[in-house]
Amino acid sequence: MKEINRRLKILLNWAKEDKKYIYLSILLGFLAGLLIMVPYMGIYNLINTIYTGTLTKDILLKLSISVSVSILVRYTLFTIAEILSHKGAYNTLFKIRKKLISHMSEVPLGELNSKNRGEIKKILNEDIEKLELFLAHHLPEVVMYLTGPLAVFVYLFNVNMGLALITLIPLPIAFYFQVKMFKDTGNYILEINDVSNNLNSTMIEYITGMRLIKSYNMTSSSFSKYKEACHEKSRLWKKISSIMGPNFASFTIFIEFGLLILIPIAGTLFLKEVISPSIFILFLLVGSLYLTEIRPLLEIGGHFSQVLSSVDKIEEILNLEVFVGGSNNFPQNNTIEFNKVNFSYTGEEKILKNINISINEGQRTAIVGPSGSGKSTILGLVARFYDVDSGEILIGKENIKSIDYTTLLENIAIVFQKNFLTKESVFKNITMGKDYTLEEVREACKKAQIDDVIMKLPDQYDTLVGGHDTRFSGGEQQRISIARAFLKDAPILILDEATSNTDPENQEKINIALNNLFIGKTVIIVAHRLSTIVDCDKIIVLENGEVTGVGKHHELISKNKYYSQVWDKYKLSRDFSYGKGDIVEE
């Protein structure tokens, strides 16, 4: 119960700015609930007048008008309550979504990567939607469905206390089945959450891997992870339904059980003339039925546990730690140093072991090494996507942990191996939400050797990316990414060079763009091409998470075994290749 209260408090706190809508809808729900009494009172008056022989046309008219008006007013109140609660709920949902997205943008990448993509998608989409159920439906409806029967009970209690209490007998039995249903399905509801996460992430994998699936002529059934996730979800729902079914039926039957108790008891009292005929009929008609008004509560209760679990999931993301504090003054000197850095992604396998390197200000430093040796990991640590396990990373002698995280990221431009373009205009894809003029963007694109390609598009910089004419090649995407870095103009540049081969013309353009970009920057490159590496001021050789060599190209050829092998292979392949952009990676 304490846990339920805690989660409800959190949820209501999220809705606090829109509480006026929600509270008002609860109030209207309450009034609508009270009005349930009117038809029942009408029935009693009708029976009374029939038995006392006082029924007149006038009474009949008044009764029918009051019952009709009460139904109309009840309907109107309920409609307004629903409109208000939905307004409050969707305002709140919007704010929670905004809060989540802005929090996620501040969370270090490593923390986010620890969650699977399907889980995040489910939280942002399905879990947030579940809160709507509670705010827009549960709150006003629970109040209405409880107030109505309660008001009728008070009315019956006034008419005949003993019989009114007897009408309550089915209630504990019915609730027993409801509680049993929650208990029996509780663990499965938690399990269904995990299964939904898994289904979501396999679905994302399935869609992302569609090209592979098609190229190997695989069918959806051959993507077994997705198939299994679908089966698992369907198996769980069948299980939950089989538990819910009998409990749901028992609840419904027992809530309508009143007549069975009232006929013998109220009947005996009537025969013994303890109660009047009108009271007898009132209890047969109303006393046995009014509890059925709470039947929708069962369904609401069924969803309630899912709402609570969604609150937990949203909280999990909001509780992900963000880097706070630190200096807003970025160091003047941009030399980057790694001092005794150790790092592991999982806490088990060490990916980087006692790394001591320095990347000098204004110079180009390349990191080379076999696949999986930890090159990209080093880049990620400089941008603080992850924090080191031990040791320290300094920029201008200042530990990066003491620099404000946004300031740090503002001073680092990253050109990734895989480039990401959104379905927006080319302009927006380059400015990435920042304020730049078209002239500034064009200037950056000219330096990145991509302006001519964009100017040939149907709407030039306003062309929507992803349409028929705007599918950029890998090389063009890379140049767009370089244009972004030009615009950002950060003093430190991190470049994860693409491993895939591009045609010589594209490669030449990329080389020109990069050489323009490198000017005056502190550059750290994970390099795969000899053409990039040989010109670097410093080359760091990384093997199995350890630095095995540092020097210039000509020094490493003679003193580093891995590097000299790579060089030999390159020389061998040079005779068979067609251009400068040859891959020399193992």
Ligand X SMILES: Nc1ncnc2c1ncn2[C@@H]1O[C@H](COP(=O)(O)OP(=O)(O)OP(=O)(O)O)[C@@H](O)[C@H]1O
- Point out which residues bind ligand X (CB under 6 A): 113, 345-346, 351, 369, 371-377, 526
Q: How far is the CB of 387 from ligand X (least distance, A)?
A: 14
Q: Nearest Cα to 92, choosing from 143, 144, 133, 140?
A: 133
Q: How far is the CB of 531 from ligand X (least distance, A)?
A: 17
Neighbours of 1 (CB within 10 A): 5
* CB 490 within 8 Å of CB 411: yes
Residue 206 to residue 226: CA distance in whole angstroms: 7
CB-nearer residue toward ligand X: 205 or 508: 205
CB-nearer residue toward ligand X: 112 or 409: 112
Label each residue of 480-543 as H, E or C.
HHHHHHHHHCCCEEEEECCCCCCCHHHHHHHHHHHHHHHCCCEEEEECCEHHHHCCCCEEEEEE
**Euclidean distance between the first and the last CA atom of the chain, given in angstroms as a whole number:** 60
CB-nearer residue toward ligand X: 39 or 374: 374
CB-nearer residue toward ligand X: 113 or 305: 113
Q: How far is the CB of 352 from ligand X (least distance, A)?
A: 8
User: Which H or E run includes 547?
Assistant: strand 546-551
For the chain, how big is the Rg over CA atoms in Å? Answer: 35
Q: How far is the CB of 450 from ligand X (least distance, A)?
A: 25
Q: Nearest Cα to 253, choosing from 178, 166, 145, 149?
A: 178
Q: How far is the CB of 350 from ligand X (least distance, A)?
A: 10
Q: Nearest Cα to 143, choosing from 83, 72, 85, 69?
A: 85
CB-nearer residue toward ligand X: 483 or 527: 527
Q: How far is the CB of 419 from ligand X (least distance, A)?
A: 15
CB-nearer residue toward ligand X: 166 or 542: 542
CB-nearer residue toward ligand X: 147 or 532: 532
Residue corresponding to tokens 């629970």: 142
Q: Nearest Cα to 390, choosing from 333, 352, 442?
A: 352
CB-nearer residue toward ligand X: 306 or 376: 376
Q: How far is the CB of 123 from ligand X (least distance, A)?
A: 20
Q: Nearest Cα to 510, choosing from 539, 481, 488, 530?
A: 481
